[in-house]
Chain A
Amino acid sequence: MATEPKPAKDDVKVDLFEDDDEFEEFEISQEWDDKKEGKEVTQQWEDDWDDDDVSDDFSLQLKRELESNTVKN
């Protein structure tokens, strides 16, 4: 019984490490070309996603839910 809490503690520690990793310092002599891949990572965004489409599962369920019985007036 007394040994049980131990592994749980270890888990927390591992997790802490994972998230505490800091911004790595670039070496003093480090130079790089940002032309190619730097661009790629900046193009991974959608700013026009808010469409009128309601054919996804969530919307269909919502629709069914709203129609399930008439709302009181």
Chain B
Amino acid sequence: MAYMSMGEAHRRITEYLNSFSDAVSSQDGASFKSLFALSSNAPSLLSLADALNIFQDANRLIKQSDNYSQFADILVPLFRSLQNYRQNNLLEAYNAFEKTANAFIQEFRNWESAWALEALYVIVYDVRVLAEKADKELASNGKSPEKLKGAGSVLMKVFGTLAGKGSKRVGALYLGTVNLCRSVIRSIETARIFDFEEFPKRDKVTYMYYTGRLEVFNENFSAADYKLSYALKYCNPQSSANIRMILKHLIPVKLSIGILPKSSLLEKYNLLEYSNIVQALRRGDLRLLRRALQDHEDRFLRSGVYLVLEKLELQVYQRLVKKIYIIQKQKDPNRAHQVKLEVIVKALKWLEIDMDVDEVECIMAILIFKNLMKGYFAHKSKVVVLSKQDPFPKLNGKPQLIEDVIPIWQSSYNLGPVSSRS
């Protein structure tokens, strides 16, 4: 710590208090916010912290003038937080800062306009960052890290304040960094009170990334595609680590709706664990798919996409049957739409997958049910008869049917005479 005289310390503290009351009386949001940016390590705040550690009786200064004393609930804990932050007592720094935040929210409610919004934003940011640091300290002392949870309830309080009030509603936009918080997400997405596009870009991207992952988890692939693609499009092109994280989750989503990443993309962002999966889809190579899932099992499990990738199996079956169909067509175009189940069994055996005719019939039934294949069975002769029109509908970006039952009347395909009905 640089040497500082008592007089100099006194001067710095008074200077800060004056800037504080000046900013409030002139409603100068920009200078106001810089007075709270604790975790930014701004030199002016660091030297204030030094001053506070030398001049131990700052609270007396706060109480000296009405200009400051009316904000004592904010200032006293803020000073304590700064002192502790400077001395690396992060738990204390957080506890005091939480008091400041609560007092600030109280004051903010009383102000008629939302002029101090940016300051509130800085406070919200610091609450979270300090909570994370405090939790690290707690954990390293073997105690349970619980401060981030506390920070969460501060944020909820802020959100409630902002969402409730007319002109201050825009402020709610700033809170998009709250991760995976259902009720907030719901109010952000259902409320018509603000336009999502008003968020700062960094928050929109972060928000779309996390909520997009939540959609993957819930298997809402259209929504997941929309959100993660949004995050990808607007992400800072410089932060390739984040682009990689987005792609890690977007690629499985895209695959499941029938869209493949180009290999240049996988190479550029070092996501080569996906290249064999893409290859398997292109070929209809079930063995390769299973092998790729096995090889990178722990990685896929950890990022939570394993189950999504596992479901690609049906698309690979579709591709395989399609290849068989095309090969048959080259030989005998008239009979190509009849595929013997034995042939499929044989192809699978070649891929080292042991399945009997009944099992294959079952898989074909699922393909038909999911509208990945159009056709019907000639059960007795063990043949699947494919529709002459578009027997293998492409997904083209649409998610495949998951739960919905296909209404019976939709199964009126344009087929030849039905020979299978007995």
Contacts and interface: CB of A to CB of B under 8 A. Distances in A.
Interface residues of B, number: 56
Contacts of B236: 26, 30, 32, 34
Interface string A41-65: 1101111111010101011011101
B411 interface: no
B283 A71 contact: no
A71 B201 contact: no
Interface in A22-42: 22-28, 30-32, 34, 36-39, 41-42
Contact of B238 (A32, A46, A65): A32
Contacts of B343: 66, 71
B232 interface: yes
Given A23-B210, A23-B245, A25-B206, A54 B330 contact: yes
A20 to B, nearest CB: 7
B347 A62 contact: yes
B261 A32 contact: no
B410 interface: no
A45 B330 contact: no
Interface of A is mostly: loop
Contact of B350 (A24, A26, A27, A65): A65
A28 B283 CA distance: 46
B83 interface: no
B241 interface: yes
Interface residues of A, number: 40
Interface in B232-248: 232-239, 241-243, 245
B241 A50 contact: no
Given A38-B233, A71-B343, A26 B125 contact: no
A22 B241 CA distance: 9
A20 B302 contact: yes
B209 A62 contact: no
Contacts of B285: 58
Interface of A: 15, 19-28, 30-32, 34, 36-39, 41-42, 44-50, 52, 54, 56, 58-59, 61-63, 65-66, 71-72
6 contacts: A28-B122, A32-B238, A41-B233, A41-B237, A47-B258, A62-B350
Interface of B: 40, 122, 125, 177, 201-202, 205-206, 209-210, 229, 232-239, 241-243, 245, 254, 258-262, 264-265, 282-285, 298-299, 302-303, 319, 322-324, 326-327, 330, 340, 342-343, 346-347, 350, 392, 394, 396-397
